[in-house]
Structures are given as C-alpha cells and as structure tokens.
C-alpha cells in the first residue's frame, strides 16, 4: 500500500520473499511526479537501511539518509531524497539475516541469489519500467557485484565503489596474505546488526544459550576495541597479542555468532544453473566456504533451475 509519511515522500515497506521463503526488509520510495512507471535504483546492504537510532528496523520513516557533514559517506549512496528527485524509484533492502530481514547472514554467500530474486520482484511491480540500476559502496558494492553476476535482464547498469567482486582475492586474501582486519574487526563490528532470526538460528543449531551468545558478542566487542586501539600505535599492531595470535581457527568469539564455514550450512549435491549464471570456473561442488569468489555464488541456492 502506497503511503505518504511524515517526510512527504510516497513510500512503503515490504517483506520481499526470496525463493526459499525468507523475507527481506525492503523500503520503496516513489517520485513525486511522472509515472506511473519509473526506472529504479536498488541498494542492498548489510549495514542497515534505517537510521542507527531507529528502534524498529522496518520503519520506513526512519530510512537512512546521509548527514549534511558527510554527504558521500555510507553504503547507500546519496540517499533516497536525491534519487526520487531525479525521477527514479529508490529501493533499499536489508540483506539476509541483517537488521529487519529474516534468515541468517552468511557473509555474502546468498547475495547473488537474493539479489536476483529482488530484481525479479521489482520487475513484477506496477511502478517499474523494468529498467533497474544498482549502486553501493563497500559492502553495498559487493552485493551489487553479486547480483550483477546473475545477469538478470532488468539490470541495465550498476555503479559500485570501494567494494570487491572477489571475496577471496580482494577481501580475505588481498596481496596473498590474510587480511586480519577483515576477518576480525569487520565481522566483530557487525555483530550488532545481525537479525533476531539469525540469533535464533545460531542458538538452535549450536545449542548455546542466549546468555552465552551475549557473552560472546561482548567478548568480540572488547576484542574489537583492543584491536582498533593497536592501529595508531608506533609501530602499529605488532605490540598487540590479539593481532599477533595465530592460528585463526575458532578464534575470536565472533565465530560463535557467524559460523559461516560450517559444511551443514550448504546444500548437498550439485545443482544445475542457467548457463548465463555460470562464470568459469563453474565446475566446483556447491558446498563452498564464504571465501570463494563471488562468481561462484549463483550455484549456492539455484533451486534446481533447469
């Protein structure tokens, strides 16, 4: 249902169903004039589509906007006001397992399939002319690359900055060495954005209590503070036991919150995917870790498409 909120925008919130039934929190902002069909700019981000102080993560009236002091800062570029003013529909979406969305966050492993399904949902709406662009920065750029890899016919263009098309080469193992900042600081810092359904899934699968999960989150946050404090030291990092500790297996505590490398998270058996979604090499078994390249991700939940 189309609504006018306190900002004067024509906007609505929807829980958009993916192919496995998981619903993702989505905000849609329509231009004030023109139509009834417009081009669309889609943003998918794990950082939250509401303002940081919003209690209800599905409240579109609290939709994120850039600050006047830092207008270009944020995974969602420029904000919906600027987009609709130029005659585009602005669509924002919390990625799977983040903030107001259902499911579990597997750190980019579902963003190709979810991006495709979101584009499919947009293409079926009465307010779109089926010409969609995507944009994003940082993690928002990576979700854009993942969706673009599926070659959905309605995606005509995308703009991505400061993001990676290869999680392995450009994020985790950039320059042929493990990026500890990515593995420790980034994941630990993003624990607060995990959704209720992600929390419930971790508790159910791992058998940990809510109190144990909260303790792990507090420990990861404390470690983040220590790790970050080592950055401005002279020389940086090497005086920190946390930075220098190896191996990385089962460490640090955020592994309890996001055990994304567990084999039972992934479907068993090969799945056939449309040829357009295959990027060489495409003969890998679909049970892969999150460190594999984004171009492999369409195989994750292809749903047996023939």
- Tens-of-pLDDT digits for all 306 residues of the chain? 344 444 456 899 999 999 999 999 999 999 988 889 999 999 999 999 988 778 888 888 888 777 777 666 666 766 888 899 999 999 999 999 999 999 999 888 999 999 999 999 999 999 999 999 999 888 899 999 999 999 999 999 999 888 777 877 877 777 777 776 666 677 778 888 999 999 999 899 888 899 988 988 888 888 788 878 888 899 988 888 877 775 555 555 666 787 654 444 433 333 333 333 333 333 333 333 333 323 333 333 333 332
Determine whether 117 is exposed, middle or buried from the number of CB atoms within 10 Å of its CB (0-12, 13-18, 19+). Answer: buried
Whole-model pTM: value is 0.78
Which pair of tokens denotes residue 87? 């005659």
What is the reported pLDDT for 293? 29
**Spatial separation of the C-alpha atoms in residues 191 and 210, rounded to whole Å:** 14
What is the reported pLDDT for 146? 94
C-alpha gyration radius of the chain? 20
What is the reported pLDDT for 71? 67
Q: What is the CATH number of domain 3-163?
A: 3.40.50.1820
First-last CA distance in the chain: 35
Give 157's strand partners: 133
Q: Please state, in angstroms and as integers, the Cα–Cα distance from residue 98 to each residue in 130, 143, 217, 294, following that order.
A: 27, 13, 15, 19
Q: Please state, in angstroms and as integers, the Cα–Cα distance from residue 86 to each residue in 26, 59, 75, 112, 210, following that order.
A: 21, 24, 20, 28, 46
Cite the DSSP H helix spans in 136-195.
139-148, 167, 180, 187-189
Domain with CATH 3.40.50.1820 in the chain: 3-163
Give 26's strand partners: 14, 93
Cβ atoms of 168 and 291 closer than 8 Å: yes
**Spatial separation of the C-alpha atoms in residues 273 and 232, rounded to whole Å:** 47
CB within 8 A of 68, min separation 6: which ones?
none
Cite the DSSP H helix spans in the chain.
80-85, 111-123, 139-148, 167, 180, 187-189, 196-206, 210-229, 241-244, 254-257
What is the reported pLDDT for 299? 33
Which pair of tokens denotes residue 67? 């600050």
Cβ atoms of 270 and 286 closer than 8 Å: yes
Which pair of tokens denotes residue 298? 């369409």
Give 160's strand partners: 136
**Spatial separation of the C-alpha atoms in residues 117 and 18, rounded to whole Å:** 6
């Amino acid at each position: 249902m189309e609504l006018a909120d306190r900002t004067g925008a024509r906007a609505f919130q929807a829980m958009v169903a993916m192919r496995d039934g998981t619903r993702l929190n989505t905000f849609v902002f329509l231009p004030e004039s023109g139509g009834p069909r417009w081009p669309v700019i889609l943003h998918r981000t794990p950082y939250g589509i509401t303002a940081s102080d919003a209690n209800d993560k599905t409240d579109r009236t609290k939709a994120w906007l850039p600050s006047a002091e830092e207008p270009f800062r944020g995974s969602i570029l420029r904000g919906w006001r600027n987009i609709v003013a130029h005659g585009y529909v602005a669509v924002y979406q919390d990625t799977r397992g983040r903030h107001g969305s259902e499911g579990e966050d597997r750190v980019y492993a579902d963003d190709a399939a979810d991006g495709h399904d979101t584009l499919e949902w947009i293409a079926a709406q009465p307010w779109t002319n089926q010409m969609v662009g995507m944009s994003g920065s940082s993690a928002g750029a990576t979700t854009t690359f993942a969706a673009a890899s599926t070659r959905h016919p309605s995606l005509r263009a995308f703009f991505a900055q400061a993001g990676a098309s290869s999680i392995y080469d450009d994020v985790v193992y950039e320059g042929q060495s493990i990026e500890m900042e990515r593995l420790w600081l980034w994941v630990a810092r993003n624990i607060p954005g995990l959704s209720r359904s992600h929390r419930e899934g971790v508790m159910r699968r791992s058998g940990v209590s809510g109190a144990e999960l909260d303790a792990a989150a507090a420990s990861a946050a404390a470690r983040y503070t220590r790790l970050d404090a080592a950055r401005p030291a002279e020389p940086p990092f090497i005086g920190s036991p946390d930075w220098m500790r190896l191996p990385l297996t089962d460490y640090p505590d955020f592994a309890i919150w996001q055990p994304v490398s567990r084999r039972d998270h992934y479907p068993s058996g090969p799945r056939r995917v449309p040829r357009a979604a295959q990027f060489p090499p495409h003969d890998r078994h679909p049970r892969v870790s999150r460190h594999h390249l984004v171009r492999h991700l369409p195989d994750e939940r292809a749903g047996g498409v023939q």
